[in-house]
Amino acid sequence: MLREIADRDPKETDADAPAELKVGYQGEPGAFGEVAAAAHGGVPVPFASFEKVLEALGQGVIDEAVFPLENAIVGGITEALEPLAAGVLRGLDLVATGLTSVPVRLALSAKQGTPIGDVKRAWSHPAALRQCTQRLAAMGIEPVVCYDTAGAAKIIAADASTDAAICSRHAAEMSGLDVLIEDVSDRDQNSTRFVHLRQADHARARVPLAFLRTSSMTATTRLDVLTGATLLPLAGTPEHPVRMWVLGADAARLQALAPARDVQVVSLGQPAPHASRLPPKEGTAPAVKSLPHATARKPATVVEVGPFKVGGGHRAMIAGPCSVESPEQVMRIAREVAACGATALRGGVFKPRTNPYAFQGHGYEALEWLAAASREVKLPIVTEVMAVDQVQQVAQKADVLQIGARNMQNFDLLRAVGRAGRPVLLKRGAGATTDEWLGAAEYVMASGESRVMLCERGIRTFEPSTRNTLDLGGMLAVRPLTHLPLLADPSHAAGRADLVEGLARAAWASGADGLIVEVHDDPARALCDSEQALVPTRFAELARALALDPNAHLPLAQLRAWVDAIDHDLAELVKRRLDVARVIGDSKRQTGRAVLDPKREAAVRRTYYEALPTSKQLADKLVDLLIEAARAQQSIEE
Ligand code: PEP
Ligand code: MN
Mean pLDDT of 270-295: 52
CB of 405 closer than 6 A to ligand 1? yes
CB of 126 within 6 A of ligand 1: the answer is no
pLDDT tens, 313-331? 889 999 999 999 999 999 9
Range 566-570 average pLDDT: 82
Closest approach atom of ligand 1 to CA 516? 2
Long-range contacts of 257-262 (CB under 8 A, 24+ apart): 257/223, 257/226, 257/227, 258/212, 258/214, 258/219, 258/220, 258/223, 259/219, 260/214, 260/216, 260/218, 260/219, 260/220, 261/606, 262/214, 262/215, 262/216, 262/219
Residue 437 Cα to ligand 1 middle (Å): 15
Does the pLDDT value for residue 41 go beyond 70? yes
Mean of all residue pLDDT scores within the chain = 86
Distance from residue 328's CA to the centre of ligand 1 (Å): 22
Angle at 563 between CA 558 and CA 569, to 5 degrees: 130
Which pLDDT band holds residue 580 (cuts at 50, 70, 90)?
Answer: confident
Produce one character per residue of 425-460: b if its CB has 16 or more CB atoms within 10 Å, e if not: bbbbbbebebbbbbbbbbbbbbbebbbbbbbbbbbe
Dist CA 463 CA 556 (whole Å): 42
At 160 the pLDDT is: 86
Residue 227 is predicted with a pLDDT of: 66
Over pLDDT 90: what percentage of the chain? 61
- Tell me the C-alpha distance between 276 and 297, whole Å: 15
Among residues 147, 53, 38, 54, the alpha carbon closest in space to that of 102 is found at 38
Kindly state if the Cβ of 451 falls inside 6 Å of ligand 1. no
At residue 278, the pLDDT reads: 35
Distance CA 465, CA 290 (A): 38
C-alpha 375 to ligand 2 mean position (Å): 23
Give the separation between CA 192 and CA 130, rounded to whole angstroms: 13
The per-residue pLDDT for 468 is 98
What crossing angle do the helices spanning 78-89 and 50-58 adopt, rounded to 10°? 30
Residue 283 pLDDT exceeds 50: no
How many other CB atoms are there within 10 angstroms of residue 515's CB atom? 26
User: Probe ligand 1: pick from 489, 519, 527, 534, max atoms within 8 Å of CB?
Assistant: 489
| Residue minimizing CA distance to atom 5 of ligand 1 | 404
Torsion of CA 357, 360, 362, 364, to 10 degrees: -130
State pLDDT tens for residues 215-250: 665 555 556 666 667 777 776 666 666 667 777 766
Q: Which ligand is nearest to the Cα of residue 353, counting in written order?
A: 1
Ligand 1 proximity of 428 Cβ (cutoff 6 Å):
no
User: For position 66, what pLDDT does the model report?
Assistant: 97
- Which residues fall within 8 angstroms of residue 394, CB to CB, at 6 or more apart? 349, 350, 367, 383, 385, 401
What is the distance, to the nearest Å, from the Cα of residue 340 to the centroid of all Cα atoms in its chain?
32
- Residue 114 phi, psi (nearest 5): -75, 120
* pLDDT-based confidence at residue 344 (cuts at 50, 70, 90): very high
Task: Indicate whether residue 322 lines ligand 1 (CB < 6 A).
Answer: yes
Closest CA to 544 of 563, 568, 570: 563
Catalytic, out of 47, 50, 194, 350: 194
pLDDT for 224 equals: 64
pLDDT > 60? residue 18: no
Residue 404 CB less than 6 A away from ligand 1: yes
Cα separation of 218 and 599, whole Å?
A: 14
192 is catalytic: yes
Q: Which-ligand-closest: CA of 346?
A: 1
Interatomic CA distance for residues 83 and 554, integer angstroms: 54
Between 303-317, 369-383, 489-503, the lowest mean confidence (pLDDT) is in 303-317
pLDDT tens-digit profile of 144-160? 999 999 999 999 999 88
Question: Which is more confident, 134 or 480?
Answer: 134
Provide the 8-state DSSP code for 535.
P
What's residue 365's pLDDT? 98
Q: Of 351 and 289, which is predicted with more confidence?
A: 351
CB 161 within 8 A of CB 96: no
Residues 110, 115, 119, CA angle at the centre, nearest 5°?
60
Q: What letter does residue 323 receive in the DSSP assignment?
A: B
For 414, list phi and psi in degrees, rounded to 5. -60, -45
Q: Among 492, 517, 518, 528, name the best residue to mutate to test ligand 1's pocket (greatest count of ligand atoms within 8 A of Cβ).
A: 492
The one catalytic residue among 78, 97, 149, 192: 192
Distance CA 112, CA 125 (A): 22
CA of 372 to the centre of ligand 1 (A): 22
> What average pLDDT does range 269-277 have in this prediction?
43
Going by alpha carbons, the residue nearest to atom 8 of ligand 1 is 404
Tell me: the pLDDT tens digits for 400-410?
999 999 999 99
Nearest to 286 by CA among 90, 479, 5, 14: 479
Percent of the chain's residues with pLDDT above 70: 85
Query: Angle at CA 109, nearest 5°, toward 106 and 114?
Result: 155
User: Using CA atoms, how far apart are residues 540 and 329, in angstroms rounded to an integer?
Assistant: 18
Provide CB contacts within 8 A for 145, sequence distance 6+: 123, 124, 125, 126, 129
Residue 527 near residue 323 (C-beta atoms within 8 A) = yes
Q: Greatest CA span in the chain, whole angstroms?
A: 101
Calculate helix-pair angle for 616-633, 598-611, nearest 10 degrees. 140
* CA 248 / ligand 1 centre spacing (Å): 39
Q: Which residues of 256-265 are buried (b: 16+ CB within 10 A; e: fewer)?
A: ebbeeeebbb
pLDDT at 388: 98
Q: Whose CA is nearest to atom 9 of ligand 1?
A: 405
Query: What is the DSSP secondary-structure string of 235-267?
Result: ---SSS-EEEEEESS-HHHHHHH--STT-EEEE
How many angstroms is it from 517 CA to the middle of ligand 2? Answer: 9
pLDDT classification of 8: cutoffs 50, 70, 90: very low
Q: What is the pLDDT of residues 410-456, one digit of tens each?
A: 999 999 999 999 999 999 999 999 999 999 999 999 999 999 999 99
pLDDT score for 566: 77
Higher pLDDT pick, 638 / 550: 550
Q: Which ligand is nearest to the CA of 467?
A: 1
Question: Minimum-distance ligand to the CA of 404?
Answer: 1
pTM, entire model:
0.54
pLDDT for the residue 220: 59
Instruction: Compute, in angstroms, the gap from residue 309 CA to the centroid of ligand 1.
Output: 21
Query: Nearest 10 degrees: CA dihedral of 335, 341, 344, 346?
Result: -60
With vertex at residue 199, the alpha carbon angle to CA 196 and CA 203, rounded to the nearest 5 degrees, is 75
Mean pLDDT is lowest, of 177-181, 278-282, 503-507, for 278-282
Whether 194 is catalytic: yes
Evaluate: CB of 427 within 6 angstroms of ligand 1.
Answer: yes
